[in-house]
Amino acid sequence: MKEPPQLPAILFCRRLPARLTRKQTADLLGIGDVDLISAAVEKKLLRSMKRSSNKDEYGFFANEIEKHAHDRNWMEKMNQVRRPRGNKKNGSHDLANE
Helix (H) or strand (E) run with residue 80 in it: helix 72-90
In this prediction the pTM is: 0.68
Per-residue burial over 16-52, b = 16 or more CB atoms within 10 Å of its CB, e = otherwise = beeebbbebbbbbbebeebebbbbbbeeebbebeeee
Residues 71-87 pLDDT 10s: 999 999 988 887 654 45
Please count the structural domains in the chain: 1
Residue 4, in any domain of the structure: no
Whether residue 22 is contained in a domain is answered as yes
pLDDT category at 96 given cuts 50, 70, 90 is: very low
Asked if residue 28 is part of any domain, the answer here is: yes
Closest CA to 18 of 42, 40, 49: 49
Range of the domain at 65: 16-87
| pLDDT, tens digit, 9 for 90 and up, residues 27-85 | 888 887 888 888 898 889 998 886 656 655 678 999 999 999 999 999 999 888 876 54
